[in-house]
Structure 1
Amino acid sequence: MCFLFDSFEGWKTYGQTHDMKLHEVVLDYEMDQKGASESDIWSGLEKAYQVMKDAVKTGTTEDMKSRSGMIDNGAKKVAQSDITVLSPEFKQLIYSALGAKEVNSCMGRVVAAPTAGASGILPGVLTTLQSIHQIEDQKIYEALLIGAGVALILEQKASLAGAVGGCQAETGSAAAMASAGIVHCLGGSVDQIFNAVGITLQCMLGLVCDPVAGLVEVPCVVRNASAAAIANSSAQIALSHVTSVIPVDECAEAMGEVGQSMESRYKETAQGGLAATKTGQALAKKILIQDIEILPQTPEGA
């Protein structure tokens, strides 16, 4: 029987007991749960990563303006900016995460990893990491499996849905998945991978879900970029042999506790936070009117 991903400690122990690497434990789970062959799983990962790469390319080269008007080619503006805050690589990370998420906001094709609202984080992180370090695709596929294992545990201990646990559950989980992938790709140990996850969760703890006008656009897109940055900082810290102090399982449980105690207005209801601001309310009203105006008119007497 495969490991059922009830805890990070259990994942580590299972791997040690069965002489399996972290990604191999997830691969075993995928084959068992889906009844698929190993080659099928690798093929699926290849296709998923290609969609991620395509989303980054589309979001940074094509017109990305959402119907609401709140998203207006932000990724391209960052990519083409004359100002570089830290380095070209950091800039690439930011516009890649923005671009992939803007594709989602503009109704394009993305990988929900783990949700559509967080769909820019893993693509932004992994494509940038691969271009900087010349990492082979196979290693990226392994990182995706490890990210999936992280998500399976967070789903049980907390949540992956903004409607249940706030934005910490979506962008926080995606950032944790990405940080684990970074550490794996750069040769980190199991403990370093889990420390990266724990540090990421600590940084994202308590983030509310407050989409303006109920659309997964503002502040969702820019949070994908900031979460991608946090994933990298957490990986850098963990790879430098700094621990999360609070064990990763306890960090995940803390995220679940915070999500449970969070008021409903901060859980994707568009009733609190930025959605409840004066400007947020005005945008919601304007977008609603626009939607009503474009509805097909029913002929009289029909």
Structure 2
Amino acid sequence: MSLTLNALAELTGRASEHLLAEEVEESGLDREAVLSAMRERLAVMRESITRGLQSDAPSVAGMVGWNAKTLWDAPDPLNAPLLKRVQAYAMAVNEENARMGRIVAAPTAGSAGTVPGALIGVADHLGLEDEDLVMPLVLAAGVGKIISRTIYIAGASGGCQAEIGSSAAMAAAAVTELLGGGPEACAHAAALALQNTLGLVCDPVGGFVEVPCVMRNGFYAVHAVSAAQQALAGIRSVIPPDEVILAMASIGRLLPLELKETGEGGLADTPTGRKLAARALGEDEEADPEG
């Protein structure tokens, strides 16, 4: 029987070990093959962070491409290196995606920066090795898999809550395990992250995965770390984790089509959003955005 977050919360040991065992059984792969695949994905994540922090080349639509480097190179007036690192890492990955660079969909391309931003950002802040991240990454993948059994992980199906919400839940669980949390804390970290994205719409300007997607990954990588911190302190979701997933699925069905990745509502439907879309698509730049 497939694990749920509620069931995971009742187990002992490392949450990732239970999900790894499930993956081995379901996929037919051996343990080392799964771990090797995770190491490869981790390497791609880190490479995309490195490239993204070094580049200010514009994206395909020209709306982003310089934000991660700008933040990374800027002074830190808050003297909060973890906050800055997590945001910059996440944005770097998504700007690489917007430039058509190689990234790991986690769980989607539009939400690809949240998991590496939070997990690798925290690890680098603490001076941990990449090998320490392999099992937490297994856990992140397992959480994404659990959510996907209830709702399609796509903005077109459930709004951005289904993409960035899922990635935040995955990242929160992974960071929690990285910092020593057990299965109950990991499951509730995922639930805390997910419940605080409920109702988030998918409104990309021009239909491009650029605005608000790049900065949104930066925000929700921090969100995931906050959820992990709360769970590690003993805070638990009042609503059971599995019910939070069901709530997201219900809300996703209620969202209008205009707010599910069509580029026809929200920020995409603002005067400036329409003007930027027309410019990116090579249409008349002087067209009246109110027209």
TM-score range, shorter chain: over 0.9
Which of the pair has more CA radius of gyration? Answer: 1
- List per-residue Cα deviations over 1:227-282 (Å, max 9, x = no partner): 10100111111111111111111111111111011101100000100001111111
Q: Shift of the alpha carbon at 1:23?
A: 1.4
CA distance in 2, matches of 1:110, 1:73: 17
Q: Give the counterpart of 1:117 among 86, 110, 113.
A: 110
Aligned to 1:149: 142
Aligned to 1:297: none
Give 5+ residue unaligned stretches, structure 2.
285-291
Q: Give the counterpart of 1:59 among 52, 64, 68.
A: 52
- List per-residue Cα deviations over 1:65-121 (Å, max 9, x = no partner): 112110131001001112433512211111111101100010000000100000111
Equivalence map 1:249-288=2 (5 Å): 249-288=242-281
CA distance in 2, matches of 1:260, 1:124: 29
Structure 1 window deviating more from structure 2 (253-262 vs 125-134): it is 125-134
Residue pair 2:56, 2:67 contacting (<8 A) in 1 also: no
Q: Give the counterpart of 1:128 among 110, 121, 132.
A: 121
Aligned to 2:238: 245
- List per-residue Cα deviations over 1:162-215 (Å, max 9, x = no partner): 100000110110011000011101111221111111111121111000010000
CA distance in 2, matches of 1:25, 1:83: 40
Equivalence map 1:1-302=2 (5 Å): 3-5=1-3, 7-13=4-10, 15=11, 21-289=14-282
Aligned to 2:288: none
TM-score after normalising by structure 1 = 0.89
TM-score after normalising by structure 2 = 0.93
Aligned residues: 284
Give 5+ residue unaligned stretches, structure 1.
292-302
- List per-residue Cα deviations over 1:137-172 (Å, max 9, x = no partner): 333111111111111111122331110000011011
Residue pair 1:64, 1:102 contacting (<8 A) in 2 also: no
Q: Shift of the alpha carbon at 1:10?
A: 2.8
Q: Secondary structure at the match of 1:10?
A: helix
Residue pair 2:5, 2:241 contacting (<8 A) in 1 also: yes
By relative contact order (CA 8 Å, sep 6+), the higher-ranking structure is: 2
